Every structure is written in C-alpha cells, then in structure tokens.
Amino acid sequence: MIEPLSVEELRGLPAAVDLETGGRAFGIGRTKAHELARAGEFPVPVMRLGATYRVSRADLLRALGEADAAPRGAA
C-alpha cells in the first residue's frame, strides 16, 4: 500500500484526476487501481474517457468524509 494523499492535497487537485491519483487518495497503487476500475469495484465512480479513466475530486472527498468546499469567492 502507498501513502494516501492528505485532505489538503486532495483539495488542491483539479475537478477530475487520473485513476492513479484517485487511487492514491485511498492508498491504492496504480496496478490495483486499474484492476478495481476494470472490475467496477473502485471505491468511487470512475469515468471512462477513451482509453483513460478519470475520477472526480468531489467523489473522492465525499468517500473520505470530507465536503468539497467551493473556492472562496465562488458563487
């Protein structure tokens, strides 16, 4: 298992990230993340875009019990 991303690191990510980064949020390595995504068992919904997978930052934060707060000044 790898060192999971901190909540601060997660909040600093773009709205959607690659599967490897999404896996790191849970301490899951690249190979296991892809295995889980292919099996439909990744901890959050996965978007398939061509040959790549993307994961929503908001879904990651929700799964980890953190709200995805809007940036300051956003309406």
The answer to whether 60 touches 11, Cβ cutoff 8 Å, is no
50: phi > 0 → left, psi -120 to 50 → alpha, else beta; which?
A: left
Average pLDDT, the chain: 89
According to the model, what pLDDT value does residue 66 have?
A: 87
- pLDDT over 50 at 72, yes or no: no
List CB contacts of 15: < 8 A, sequence separation 6 or more.
56, 57, 58
According to the model, what pLDDT value does residue 60 have?
A: 95
Give the mean pLDDT of 57-68: 88
Closest CA relative to residue 25, chosen from 60, 54, 67, 69: 60
Q: How far is CA 35 from the centre of its chain?
A: 15
Q: Kindly report the pTM of this predicted structure.
A: 0.82
According to the model, what pLDDT value does residue 3 have?
A: 87
